[in-house]
Each structure stands twice: as C-alpha cells, then as structure tokens.
Amino acid sequence: MKDTNEHARSYYAATAQWRSDYPQLAGEHRCDVAVVGAGFTGLSAALFLAERGYDVAVVEANRVGWGASGRNGGQLIDGFVELEKIERRLGPEATEVAYRMGLECRDIVVQRIEQYGIDCDLKFGYLDLALKPSEMDDFRVEIERKQRANYPHAMRMVEREEMPSVIGSRLYIGGMINSGNGHLHPLNLCLGQARAIEQHKGRIFEQSPVMRIEHGDHPKVHTAEGVVHAKKVVLAGNAYLGRVEPRLFGKVIPAGSYMIATEPLGDDLAIELLPQDNAACDQRIVLDYFRLSADRRMLFGGFCNYSGRDPKDITASLQPKMLHVFPQLADVKVEFEWGGYIGISMNRVPQMGRIEGNTYYAQGYSGHGLAPTHMAGKVLADAIGGDFEQFDVFARIRHWRLPGGKWFANPALAIGMLYYRLKDLF
Ligand SMILES: Cc1cc2nc3c(=O)[nH]c(=O)nc-3n(C[C@H](O)[C@H](O)[C@H](O)COP(=O)(O)OP(=O)(O)OC[C@H]3O[C@@H](n4cnc5c(N)ncnc54)[C@H](O)[C@@H]3O)c2cc1C
C-alpha cells in the first residue's frame, strides 16, 4: 500500500462524485481559524466554524478525504465513547454529556447530508452479528439499557431462525438490528462537506503539507510554499499528523486497516447475501465488517495491522475471510483493494485538547470514527466560540504517549492486540 498524494486506488475514489482540485497554498494568507487536515474531523470543524461566520482556511497535505475518512467502511454508527470508561474516570454528569454526544454524532452526519443535499448513498439499518451465545446476551442487555434511556431509534433482536431474512451466511447464530445506524459512501460525504465549506466562503488548499506551526498569540501555519496567519488553529491530521506537533506525536498509534470490493454482484446475489441491505459486523476486537455498495458490490473489511508493515497482498489476506462468511462469492472477482491508517489511542477514548491556548486538536477515535469525528468538529468549533461544556469532558482525560513514538510502540500494541485476539477465542 504505497501512499501518494493522490487518492488510494479504492472503490470510493473510482466512484467519487467529482475530483477535488483545490489550489496549493502559496504566499501569505490570513484567516480566523486554520484547519490542518481535510478528513472528517477537519471538514466538520471547518464547516461548523464557517456556518457561524468564521473565516476558515483548510490546509490538506493531499486531497480532501485522502486519509481514513475517504477510505473507510462507510459504516455509520452512533456512540462517541464507551460510556463505562467515562463513568469510571469522570462520574455520572460527564457520562450523561458523553451519552448525548453519542446520539448527536450520528444526527450531525444525517443533518449535514440533508441540509447540503450530499449524494453519498446513505442507507439506514445496521446488523450486529453474534458468533456465540454470550454475544446474544450482550445484545439483549444493550437493547434493554437503550430502551431504559429512551434511545430514539428502533432496535430488535434477530433470532437464529430469522437469520436468513437478514444475511445469507450460516456463520452467525443471531443478531441485533439498529434502524438508526447505517452506511454511506465516505469520500462523497467528504467532498460534499468541502463544497459546503466553499458555500460559506471557506478556503481549502490541497497538496499542501503543513511542515511547522509557529505558536504564539498569532499562530502561523507553514507549508513549503506558503503561510497562513490565524487567530486559532485546529489540528485534524489524526494518524497521519506525524511530527508536525511534537506534543501530539506518539499519542495515537497509526494502525493499518484494509478493505476489498468485489465486482458488482447483480441484484439476485446481492439480495441473497444481505436481503435488507444493512451494514454488518461481528463482535470480535479484530472484526469482520461488510456491506453492499450502491452498485451492489460486496465491500469487506476485516483485519488490522499493528506491526507498522502493510500486507504484501491485501486481497490474499482478506478474500479468505470474506469467503468464510459468504462462500457464495467464490467465483466473484475482487476489483479493488486498499488500506488506510486508523488513529488508535491507548485507552480507546477519543482525544481532544488544546495547546498553548489557541491550538485545538481531536484524534484517536480508534476505528470507530465516521460519526464521532463529526461530533468532534462541532465540539472544537464550540470551544473556539467559548463554549467548553463538551470539550472539557474530554480534555480532562489523561492520555499516555507511547515511549519512542509509533515505531517503538508497535510491538507493545501488537502484544496488546494478541491479548484481545486470545480473548476473542474464549
Ligand atoms: C480501512 C478503514 C475502515 C474504517 N471503517 C470505519 C467504519 O466503517 N466506520 C467508522 O466509524 N470508522 C471507520 N474507520 C475509522 C474512520 O475512518 C476514522 O476514525 C476517521 O475517518 C478519522 O478521520 P480524521 O479526519 O480524524 O482523520 P483522517 O481522515 O485520517 O484525515 C486526516 C487528514 O489530515 C491530513 N494531514 C495529516 N497531516 C497533515 C499535515 N501535516 N498537513 C496537512 N494535512 C495533513 C491527511 O492527509 C488526511 O487527509 C475506518 C478506518 C479505516 C482506515
């Protein structure tokens, strides 16, 4: 998986609504807020700010949506953080704030799509799959807990005998359907939000890696050819940020995650495999996740790489997993393979904070970021506007930096994941 400054050769890049071609940053620019990175976090923050009248400039090293945001599974799932972690660390009030954020993050995505007419194949319906009875028990507990909390979306159990009506696979013993979650084309969601930023007079620069940030009362964001003078800065480079801000380096671990897309399956086979067109995943830490695209391909993601080395052949690694779930795909061609980096935080809690008073950041969604990034963008925009209620909940959480940064850290992470893999076996 060799990264260039153009999009990865993914199904999403091949079917994008349009190809962004914003100018490179050159010369001197001034704005209220400079946003580094045009993934969901950066685009969401920039759009909230631009809607509120801030003059924003987004500076992206590659293309809009080039990172994880334009390459992911497209699975739209609510929830911002595991609430037990917040309860344990910060108590019930903060937990209530985090719970509301978990609902709101999904709503922000849906509202954005509706408000700006973003054509990104949004479909509702999410199927959690159980491989063992204890997972069915967990689903029952989850549904009861959500009902008690007046969860706004319909949820239901799918017992074994009903499984053929939701999935054409014999692997699973049951499931749980959430009608509020769903799936979409993530790169088109990025591109739609970029257009919305433009509508609000925001500026976007592409192929402009930020090399240095000069902090102070009037921070400056430097690229090779230009500089943005800003009042505030948002750092939204997540797993790709590298060493631009040394205080963040090593706080998230870039973990490779990979996907394949088959050729179009045709209606009959597509309906046989996922009759209700839900997005789906199993419950393991290193999980299988899959869904149909709008043109009825199987999009299948299934393993994470914590070693710092990408697999030589993504299809050879993922196709057997797909065939294990859906043997019916044995003669179907895989047409696309790609991967991207997820920012993992040690405690799997998203990181938000502030550096030197006027530089804000959000990162480390740990594999579940499509909806949370949109929430994080709003929280950063609120904080920049002086409302710290939600920001402070997360800024209070201590995050560990891994000694030696990402490369020394990977063996430690690999051991951690081995532990979780073993846990999956029992
Ligand atoms: C294969 C894969 C599948 C996934 N599936 C799902 C899923 O189904 N559902 C889900 O909820 N989450 C999923 N995720 C996770 C989700 O995609 C991420 O959590 C989310 O997209 C992170 O968004 P972001 O904006 O923070 O980071 P990114 O999207 O990675 O964006 C960071 C951007 O910053 C830019 N940048 C970095 N450094 C600089 C710099 N110095 N100067 C300028 N620009 C810079 C990068 O070029 C990049 O465009 C998946 C991730 C991957 C990789």
Q: Is 256 helix (H, G, I), strand (E, B) or coil?
A: strand
Any ligand 1 atom below 6 A from CB of 44: no
Residues with pLDDT less than 70, the chain:
1-2, 306-308, 402-426
Element of type H or E holding 363: strand 359-363
pLDDT of residue 21: 97
Q: Is 51 helix (H, G, I), strand (E, B) or coil?
A: helix
Ligand 1 atom closest to the CA of 244, numbered from 1? 41
For ligand 1, mutation pick of 11, 223, 238 (most atoms within 8 Å of CB): 238
What is the rounded CA–CA span in Å between residue 269 and residue 276? 13
Q: Is 85 helix (H, G, I), strand (E, B) or coil?
A: helix
Q: Is 334 helix (H, G, I), strand (E, B) or coil?
A: strand
Any ligand 1 atom below 6 A from CB of 36: yes
Q: How many CA atoms lie within 13 A of 190 on its CB side?
A: 32
Element of type H or E holding 348: none
State the Rg of the chain over Cα: 21
Ligand 1 atom closest to the CA of 256, numbered from 1? 53
pLDDT of residue 422: 44
pLDDT tens per residue across span 29-65: 999 999 999 999 999 999 999 999 999 999 999 999 9
Element of type H or E holding 232: strand 226-235
Against a cut of 0.85, is the pTM above it?
yes
> Which residues, 6+ apart, have CB-to-CB distance to 144 below 8 Å?
none
Label the pairing between strands 212-214 and 123-130. Answer: unpaired
Q: Is 267 helix (H, G, I), strand (E, B) or coil?
A: helix
Ligand 1 atom closest to the CA of 75, numbered from 1? 8
66 CA distance to ligand 1 middle (Å): 8
> Which residues, 6+ apart, have CB-to-CB distance to 84 below 8 Å?
none
Element of type H or E holding 220: strand 220-222
CA distances from 336 to 11, 261, 319 (A): 6, 5, 11
Place of tokens 């199993």: 282
Write the burial class of residue 171 (CB in 10 Å: 0-12 exposed, 13-18 middle, 19+ buried). Answer: middle
pLDDT of residue 411: 52
Give the CA dihedral 425, 71, 169, 297, nearest 10 degrees.
-160
Conformational region of residue 35, where left means phi above 0, alpha means psi within -120 to 50, and beta covers everything else: beta
Element of type H or E holding 380: helix 370-384
Q: How many CA atoms lie within 13 A of 222 on its CB side?
A: 8
Any ligand 1 atom below 6 A from CB of 75: yes
Q: Is 383 helix (H, G, I), strand (E, B) or coil?
A: helix
Write the burial class of residue 193 (CB in 10 Å: 0-12 exposed, 13-18 middle, 19+ buried). Answer: buried
What is the rounded CA–CA span in Å between residue 249 and residue 154? 41
Q: Helices marked H in 224-350 — which ranges? A: 267-273, 314-325
Any ligand 1 atom below 6 A from CB of 77: yes
For ligand 1, mutation pick of 12, 69, 220 (most atoms within 8 Å of CB): 69
237 CA distance to ligand 1 middle (Å): 8
Q: Is 261 helix (H, G, I), strand (E, B) or coil?
A: strand
Q: Are 270 and 122 in contact (CB under 8 A)?
A: no
190 CA distance to ligand 1 middle (Å): 11
Q: How many CA atoms lie within 13 A of 227 on its CB side?
A: 10
Any ligand 1 atom below 6 A from CB of 237: yes
